[in-house]
């Protein structure tokens, strides 16, 4: 459920016309419904009932400070994968003891920063990383809580780029290595195991793999308890699907994922952690783009828009089939067309062979379910400026990220050391 609705053939975000926001802030433009985000946090939490739990919002999905602050005010924690995300989470008001640090390639600096920040725990991704954490914590003489990330070797039946729980992926430890890691901590003075973790992928559209993987890590939890290692937290990860495209209605809802796993936690003295990102912010955001032209060739019609793959790369990177509709519905002939951007790549498209009304210059299109992995994966390719972002709360608008300027684009670059004499010297 979201709060993007058509009223009298015009798209609204909560109580505001999307066309009005596009006129005010220009396009391409990301628009987020805060009411949708707040609702998703509430529904996710309610699904657990009386089972102790903590929602650690996955900052990687959308790390805008306004989104993170909304998460904090909803009582959520945060799953971070870099120093940048950690600093943003703290700045937005996420409680330190509600933050977990994940990621397969943490640098020494990131590990030290996480230890000093007194977060809930660091997710250990390898035996080598565990040794590094032990050395760093010993060198600064500071205790650190850890959870080992298990690779349950489960096929989540999602896109291969975002399937992280398979045996062939770079993430986590095998069940055997996991047990070795916990037993090694018994000899580490400053390292304290407090949890166990998993994350099998993203945009998981079936609850079966989720349930199977949860059972596997709980079996490991029980083996550890039998050997005197009593953990407080079981982190079952995220990856819950966001609803987009024609098949959205058949996708699981948060309560479906929780229902498939919560039976395993009855009578266990643990707090369950989940790390939803996409399911929280995915359909809470849209990307609005303005039509530049309708271009016809001998066998194709192209709807050329001012947003490009630099603004939203999901359609080309993951072949994501996002719903695309006119912001203002008009009675025009419906034709098959490709919605494409201005980038100098054949891969610069949002949809192919899409049935849409014939679009005219200046018309607006909305790309739905763009709140996750949209702005955070944008770039300056073709020296294009990154888009502005606005949040809507009822009839209130908040500019949560300004559109970049050309000064922003050039900031940090330096051509002063390049001279004619230098270039001439390179010719010989």
pLDDT tens for residues 51-63?
999 999 999 999 9
Does 95 lie in the same domain as 10? no
Tokens of 236: 């079952």
How many residues in total does the chain contain?
428
Does 375 lie in the same domain as 398? yes
CATH code where residue 176 lies: 3.20.20.10
Strands (E), 319-407: 324-326, 334-340, 349-357, 364-367, 388-393, 396-401
Instruction: Say which of 13, 78, 303, 344 is annotated catalytic.
Output: 344
Question: In b/e form, how buried is each residue of 363-377, taking b as 16+ CB within 10 angstroms?
Answer: bbbbbbbbbbbbbee
Does 358 lie in the same domain as 390? yes
pLDDT of residue 184: 97
Tell me which residue range forms the domain holding 117: 35-280
- Is residue 344 flagged as an active site residue? yes
- Name beta bridge partners: 173: 150
Cis peptide before 108 (omega within 30 of 0): no
Tokens of 412: 């940090």
| Sign of the torsion angle spanned by Cα atoms 85, 91, 285, 22 | negative
- What is the DSSP-derived secondary structure letter of residue 240? B
Compute the distance between CA of residue 392 and CA of residue 395 in angstroms, rounded to an integer.
7
Does 175 lie in the same domain as 93? yes
pTM of the model: 0.92
pLDDT of residue 172: 77
Does 333 lie in the same domain as 242? no
Residue 8 lies in a domain: yes
pLDDT of residue 168: 53
Compute the distance between CA of residue 232 and CA of residue 147 in angstroms, rounded to an integer.
10
Does 118 lie in the same domain as 265? yes
Does 241 lie in the same domain as 167? yes
pLDDT of residue 36: 97
pLDDT of residue 246: 53
Region of residue 383 (left: phi > 0; alpha: psi -120 to 50; beta: else): left
CATH code where residue 365 lies: 2.40.37.10
Residue 368's closest CA among 325, 318, 329?
325
- Name beta bridge partners: 77: 56
Does 173 lie in the same domain as 313? no
Residue 17's closest CA among 29, 30, 6, 1?
6
* Greatest Cα-to-Cα distance within the chain, rounded to the nearest angstrom: 78
Does 390 lie in the same domain as 262? no
Does 289 lie in the same domain as 268? no
Does 128 lie in the same domain as 210? yes
Cβ atoms of 100 and 146 within 8 Å: the answer is no
- Name beta bridge partners: 256: none
Print pLDDT tens along the chain (428 aa): 899 999 999 999 999 999 999 999 999 999 999 999 999 999 999 999 999 999 999 999 999 999 999 999 999 999 999 999 999 999 999 999 999 999 989 999 999 999 999 999 999 999 999 999 999 999 999 999 999 999 877 654 443 433 444 445 667 788 899 999 999 999 999 999 999 998 876 577 778 778 888 888 999 999 999 999 999 999 998 888 787 655 555 777 878 888 888 888 888 999 999 999 999 999 999 999 999 999 998 889 999 999 999 999 999 988 878 999 999 999 999 999 999 999 999 999 999 999 999 999 999 999 999 999 999 999 999 999 999 999 999 999 999 999 999 999 999 999 999 999 999 999 97
Residue 418 lies in a domain: no
Task: Write out pLDDT tens, residues 344-395.
Answer: 999 999 999 999 999 999 999 999 999 999 999 999 999 999 999 999 999 9
Compute the distance between CA of residue 302 and CA of residue 353 in angstroms, rounded to an integer.
9
Compute the distance between CA of residue 211 and CA of residue 200 in angstroms, rounded to an integer.
11
C-alpha radius of gyration, the chain, whole number: 24
Does 348 lie in the same domain as 290? yes
**CB-side exposure of 324: number of CA atoms within 13 Å?**
31
Q: What angle do CA 133, 136, 142 make, to 5 degrees?
A: 95
Q: Count the domains in the chain.
A: 2
Residue 414 lies in a domain: no
């Amino acid at each position: 459920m979201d709060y993007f609705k058509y009223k009298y053939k015009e798209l609204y975000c909560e109580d505001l016309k999307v066309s009005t926001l596009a006129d005010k802030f220009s396009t391409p433009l990301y628009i987020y419904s805060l009411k949708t985000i707040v609702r998703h946090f509430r529904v996710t939490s309610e699904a657990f009932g009386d089972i102790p739990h903590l929602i650690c919002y996955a900052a990687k999905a959308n790390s805008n400070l306004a989104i993170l602050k909304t998460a904090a005010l909803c009582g959520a924690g945060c799953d971070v994968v870099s120093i940048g995300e950690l600093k943003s989470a703290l700045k937005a008001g996420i409680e330190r003891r509600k933050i977990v640090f994940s990621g397969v390639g943490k640098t020494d600096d990131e590990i030290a920063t996480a230890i000093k920040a007194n977060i809930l725990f660091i997710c250990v991704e390898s035996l080598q990383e565990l040794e590094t954490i032990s050395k760093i914590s010993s060198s600064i003489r500071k205790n650190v809580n850890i959870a080992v990330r298990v690779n349950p070797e489960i096929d989540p039946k999602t896109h291969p780029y975002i399937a992280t729980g398979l045996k062939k992926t770079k993430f986590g430890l095998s069940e055997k290595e996991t047990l070795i890691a916990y037993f090694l901590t018994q000899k580490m003075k400053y390292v304290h195991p407090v949890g166990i973790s998993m994350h099998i992928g993203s945009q998981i559209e079936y609850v079966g793999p989720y349930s199977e993987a949860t059972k596997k890590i709980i079996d490991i939890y029980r083996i550890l308890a039998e050997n005197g290692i009593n953990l407080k937290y079981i982190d079952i990860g995220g990856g819950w699907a966001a609803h987009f495209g024609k098949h959205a209605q058949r996708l699981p809802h948060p309560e479906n994922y929780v229902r498939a796993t919560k039976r395993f936690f009855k009578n266990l003295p643990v707090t369950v952690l989940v790390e939803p990102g996409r399911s929280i912010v995915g359909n809470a955001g849209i990307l609005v783009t303005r039509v530049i032209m309708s271009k016809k060739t001998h066998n194709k019609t192209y709807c050329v828009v001012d947003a490009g793959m630099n603004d939203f790369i999901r359609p080309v990177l993951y072949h994501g089939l996002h719903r695309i509709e006119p912001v203002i519905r008009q009675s025009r002939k419906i034709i098959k067309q490709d919605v494409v951007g201005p980038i100098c790549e054949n891969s610069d498209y949002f949809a192919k062979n899409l049935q849409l009304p014939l679009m005219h210059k200046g018309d607006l299109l909305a790309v739905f379910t763009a709140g996750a992995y949209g702005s955070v994966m944008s770039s300056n390719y073709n020296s294009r400026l990154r888009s502005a972002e606005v949040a809507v709360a009822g009839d209130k608008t908040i500019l949560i990220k300004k559109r970049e300027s050309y000064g922003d684009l050039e900031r940090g670059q330096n051509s002063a050391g390049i001279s004619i004499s230098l270039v001439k010297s390179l010719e010989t």
